[in-house]
Structure 1
Amino acid sequence: MTTPGPPVYLDHAATTPMLPVALDAMTAQLASVGNANSLHASGRSARRVVEEARETIARSLGCRPGDVVFTSGGTEADNLALKGIFWARRGEDPRRVRILSTAIEHHAVLDPLHWLATDDGADVELLPVDQRGRLDVDALRRSIERDPGSVALVSVMWANNEVGTLQPVDEVVALAHEHGIPVHTDAVQAVGAVPVDFEASGVDALSFTGHKVGGPYGVGALVVRRDLRVSALVHGGGQERDIRSGTLDPPAIAGLAAAIEASVKAQPEHAERVAALRDDLVRRVVEVVPDAHLHGAALDGDDGGRLPGNAHLGFPGCEGDSLLMLLDARGIECSTGSACSAGVPQPSHVLLAMGCDADQARHSLRFSLGHTSTAADVDALVEAIGPVVERARAAKPR
């Protein structure tokens, strides 16, 4: 009996394996004791680990060490930015109740916005995107200019997690800052994949997480300018500028910093390598399944660009969930952008916002490549995709 080999992992946008340097940095601290808020020697040692990590992240992302607020990950960082900035801005001026974002944000942004709208009096406007998934900047301009004094903040992701489209962050910042409006960006998918420089971008707050860059789970950060007021979500010991209380996790923070430093340094070569694999994947899959089509920005980057490791493909006549499970049975792991509610597949909100109908928004798969991806992974997918699509189409009810 043949022992099955390791899976072909094409879901790096969901999470990516830890980098050896991050694993080493984290495990080196696991046996150490010390609360970073304690004044004795063990506490000072833990504090040193945290502050050195903060400095490493600041160098890597083009910010000041004091801008880095550690969190449990991207979801908490997004919640802290959206709620904290909204509460602070509304507290300064009760007219500031509007939040402008896009219809294609990750649920770590959309769900807090929904909560703020339904439970806390926010007026949330989700701006449209074009068929590539790129923000309609003119719509943003019109929305701001309608009543700039009522806008608490703008939140636009750096790169979309499903289709990989890069957003015009520089244009968003320019428009918002004309009226003194702060900008938050969810950069969870962008850091380590494309160049990200906090200071150069002009954004006021930026979220990222460890497990998308080869770091540990359960740790991330909100990079936020020190002169921007942010109300706390969690109150307690006053850690992290009194914005995010809670005992810090030096081993995880050390692993996070090592992963950020390594992934940012390797970004140009990494992007070139995985983009070549991605382009080969798309070309060969379309050769096998001629009516398969790419969602999002063009591969050549002429229309604004996309993440180098992202290939989001539609397969007409199939259910994305069926394709996913059929590939999984062959040892190939990927994802579908659709959610699942009570066992019923739901169309992708991103594809719907891009103008796809409900059927089109259900028949897609996201293949995302990362630092462990190889040409053999692409070969395995190309070999499997034809029979899998044929079987999925045969199984779909007419």
Structure 2
Amino acid sequence: MTAYLDYNATAPIRPQALDAMTAALAEPGNASSVHGPGRRARRLVEEGRAKVAALAGADPNWVIFTSGGTEANNLALRGLPAQRIVVSAGEHDSVLQAVPEAPGLEPQVVGLTADGVVDLQALDAALEDAPEGTLVSVMLANNETGVIQPIEQVVTLARAAGAWVHCDAVQAAGKIPLDMTALGVDLLTLSAHKLGGPPGVGALLVSPEQPLRALQRGGGQERRRRAGTENLAGIAGFGAAAESALEDLPGLQRLGELRDYFEREIKMLASELKVFGGGAPRLPNTSCVALAGLAAETQIMALDLAGVAVSSGAACSSGKVQPSHVLTAMGASPQEAGSAIRVSLGWASVPQDVERLLSAWGELYRRSRAA
């Protein structure tokens, strides 16, 4: 059986989510219908909405269900009447490529420090003389390095400039406590499959007072902010996964201990190995490491053959592996970025998974040095 250590890509579905989806699939009603089956379907949608809101410390009325995090990010960046958009260099492509293609709306990109934290001085400078309707988008935790961003400070700078703040919290949700109200952001993105729910469902959280324009037109679903018949089974699974993840939060210290153990042990195998973001606050489950000269593709394939699933710090585009824009923004050399792998733990991870990874990686390292 594979030691699955790629939770930041997709977490295995939680049993609670699977049960909730199975039950929802047995319901024949459309949540927009007023008859009995329709009302039962509506109840499932609203129960899911309340559970997702609870995970994010938000009002259920703020939850707009979408087809996933990518759609939610597009809705945030394209749905507001923004006159300028400022993003960090570490954002997910679904943010970087969601900026409306209109004259003058090219995103202003703010760099990262060597530890992968958004450069607050550069952000402050970017917001000087910001026009009314400026939107700042900074993720809560990076998907490649796990580095947690100082969102409260981002909000302070944005508020001084009169700007909106969008936060992609896809990777953070269910891994660290999340309170949208305390963060002070205007819009927040979530995705079910990153925390043990089903793929194909996510949410944008935004107060009804914000001037958000629907991108998907049709019926009046989701308070006329996202048309389309609700994904009943997906929403039920999302809600159940959110509820389970919230209950699991107090016990996530064990993932941090496993992550730290992995990094200590792999450094003993290869002292020259680099840990990205190690000097900054990180998600407890994420480790991004690189050994220059040992290609990420080689590591991933060898580990896969050994029954261990991890991912690369590089992004695949049109069949070609490109250096990670996140690691490049942190100052990594092409050799380092091209050798980075990401290990991400989750709700079902056990110490044996890490031991299997260390054993397989150690054997690969010894072979590479003997060649």
Fold in common (TM above 0.5):
yes
What TM-score does the superposition give when structure 2 sets the normalisation length?
0.96
1-side partners of 2:358 and 2:214: how far apart? 49
Are 1:179 and 2:155 an aligned pair? no
1:123 is paired with a residue whose SS is coil
2-side partners of 1:222 and 1:267: how far apart? 22
1:383-394 alignment runs, 5 A limit:
383-392=359-368
C-alpha deviation, 1:190, in angstroms? 0.3
Q: Which ranges in structure 2 are unaligned for 5 or more consecutive residues?
A: none
C-alpha deviation, 1:237, in angstroms? 0.2
* Amino acid in structure 1 at the alignment position of 2:9: A
The residue aligned with 1:202 is 184
| 2:132–2:163 Cα contact (<8 Å) kept | no
The residue aligned with 2:352 is 376
Q: Which ranges in structure 1 are unaligned for 5 or more consecutive residues?
A: 1-5, 90-95
My pick for the range that moved more, 11-20 or 386-395, is 386-395
The residue aligned with 2:197 is 215
Q: How many residues align?
A: 371
1:311 is paired with a residue whose SS is strand
| 2:134–2:162 Cα contact (<8 Å) kept | no
2-side partners of 1:26 and 1:181: how far apart? 39
Say which of 338, 347, 354 aligns to 1:362: 338
Deviation string, structure 1 residues 160-207 (Cα, Å, up to 9, x no partner) = 000110001000111111232110000000000011101111000000
The residue aligned with 2:8 is 13
| 2:132–2:162 Cα contact (<8 Å) kept | no
Deviation string, structure 1 residues 343-381 (Cα, Å, up to 9, x no partner) = 432111111000112111101110001111111111111
Are 1:295 and 2:276 an aligned pair? yes
2-side partners of 1:58 and 1:151: how far apart? 26
Are 1:169 and 2:169 an aligned pair? no
| 1:322–1:392 Cα contact (<8 Å) kept | no
* Amino acid in structure 2 at the alignment position of 1:137: L
Compute the RMSD of aligned alpha carbons: 1.5
| 1:323–1:392 Cα contact (<8 Å) kept | no
The residue aligned with 2:258 is 277
| 2:135–2:163 Cα contact (<8 Å) kept | yes
Deviation string, structure 1 residues 213-260 (Cα, Å, up to 9, x no partner) = 111111110011111111111100021121110000222111101111
2-side partners of 1:283 and 1:297: how far apart? 12
The residue aligned with 1:259 is 241
2:355 is paired with a residue whose SS is helix
| 2:55–2:174 Cα contact (<8 Å) kept | no
2-side partners of 1:151 and 1:390: how far apart? 55
2-side partners of 1:194 and 1:345: how far apart? 31
| 1:319–1:392 Cα contact (<8 Å) kept | no
What TM-score does the superposition give when structure 1 sets the normalisation length?
0.90
2-side partners of 1:277 and 1:314: how far apart? 18
C-alpha deviation, 1:316, in angstroms? 1.8
The residue aligned with 2:109 is 126
* Amino acid in structure 2 at the alignment position of 1:129: L
The residue aligned with 1:321 is 297
